[in-house]
Amino acid sequence: MTEDAVPQADIATVPSDIDDSVILLDVREDDEWQRGHAPGAVHIPMGQIPARMGEIDSTTPLYVVCQGGGRSQRVAQYLAQNGFSPVNVSGGMLAWAGAGRQVITDDGSAGVI
């Protein structure tokens, strides 16, 4: 699979309200997640994806995000090779926060990227 085979999403086209109709898969490390993440996102660090793919619904639209878009691109490629139809979020959580979208911590307070 070529790198171009995974669709890219500009932050403006990524849903800002994450609910059961869409999955925002955050593949950053635990410390990055704890500082701040998108409300409703699912957290599976990049290194755990192969062992935890069963936790991801392959029938739900899937956006993959990391800090800047590099790790999520690699994860999206891997998922695409394994029967998923992921979309990589260009610019990652930096773009999410830069667009003024909410960033929270696990307890619901304001987070940082």
Catalytic residues: 66
Residue length of the chain: 113
96 and 65 Cβ atoms separated by less than 8 Å? yes
DSSP-derived secondary structure letter, 100: T
44 and 4 Cβ atoms separated by less than 8 Å? no
| Residue 88, beta-bridge partner list | 8, 64
